């Protein structure tokens, strides 16, 4: 079997991002491609790193911890999976951004651990826009009330919003969810909560990142289109 050519795959994704920007009158520099490397070997990450990629996304703390230890120190790691409070200490101070803040208690723990380490953590609020049963995240109308409580927490900066849209055969169906997240960002920025001004929208995966970019994504999280399908049986 052929080895996955991660550089060629990544470049194809970057071209699609540029085309989506073109269609929607955006500057491709506004969009960061995060290569989602969960379950994938460090050699593949190293290869992509050697080809210039610096932003990688991981879901599982133990795997992230090992990869941070083994791989180049200038990689910007993005924690994109559900984060338990007792694992916050492995992530704070070692990642560029935590995309998956889904409760006040988790935000409090990140704040506390960040203060202890004397760092400021950049985080995103995970929103379950489609209100899927099996997904973490706030409902759309819970986010502003949450921010009103969390905005005063020290050592944590709420940079933006994140969502994972439903899996669908027709990604066009997810456009409404991406629009709703963009609208929420605008509402938050107009609401005048102290310390809160957001400019990061993390949305779009292999299936629907083109649509997400058209609707204003500033981070897309793409795994399969770069690294190939994941095999969980080997984990
Ligand atoms: C796995 C994962 C991705 C990447 O999904 P692909 O469909 O492989 O591109 C993006 N975001 C989150 C939160 C994930 O868990």
| Separation CA 215–CA 182 (nearest Å) | 7
pLDDT tens figures, 65-106: 999 999 999 999 999 999 999 999 999 999 999 999 999 999
Q: What is the Rg, in whole angstroms, of the alpha carbon atoms belonging to the chain?
A: 17
Distance from the alpha carbon of residue 87 to the mean position of ligand 1, in angstroms? 20
For ligand 1, whether the C-beta of 130 sits within 6 Å is no
For ligand 1, whether the C-beta of 164 sits within 6 Å is yes
Which two tokens mark 203? 């949305």
- Model-level pTM? 0.96
| Separation CA 68–CA 169 (nearest Å) | 34
Using 50, 70 and 90 to split pLDDT, how confident is the model at 2?
low
**Strand, coil or helix: 112:** helix
CA-based nearest residue to 32, from 228, 222, 227, 196: 222
| Separation CA 60–CA 106 (nearest Å) | 16
Distance from the alpha carbon of residue 188 to the mean position of ligand 1, in angstroms? 26
Check pLDDT > 50 for residue 1: no
């Amino acid at each position: 079997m052929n080895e996955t050519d991660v550089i060629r795959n990544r470049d194809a994704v970057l071209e699609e991002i540029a085309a989506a920007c073109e269609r929607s009158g955006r500057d491709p520099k506004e969009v960061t491609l995060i290569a989602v490397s969960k379950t994938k070997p460090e050699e593949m990450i190293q290869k992509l790193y050697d080809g210039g990629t610096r932003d990688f996304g991981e879901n599982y703390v133990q795997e992230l911890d090992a990869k941070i230890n083994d791989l180049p120190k200038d990689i910007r790691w993005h924690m994109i999976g559900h984060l338990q409070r007792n694992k916050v200490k492995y992530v704070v101070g070692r990642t560029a951004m935590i995309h998956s803040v889904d409760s006040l208690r988790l935000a409090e723990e990140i704040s506390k651990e960040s203060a202890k380490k004397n760092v400021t953590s950049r985080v995103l609020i995970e929103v379950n826009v489609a209100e899927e049963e099996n997904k973490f995240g706030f409902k759309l109308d819970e986010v502003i009330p949450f921010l009103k409580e969390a905005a005063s927490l020290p050592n944590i900066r709420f940079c933006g919003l994140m969502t994972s849209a439903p899996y669908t055969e027709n990604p066009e169906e997810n456009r409404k969810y991406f629009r709703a997240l963009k609208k929420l960002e605008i509402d938050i920025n107009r609401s005048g909560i102290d310390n809160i001004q957001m400019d990061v929208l993390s949305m779009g995966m292999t299936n629907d990142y083109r649509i997400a970019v058209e609707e204003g994504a500033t981070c897309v999280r793409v795994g399969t289109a770069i690294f190939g399908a994941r095999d969980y049986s080997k984990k």
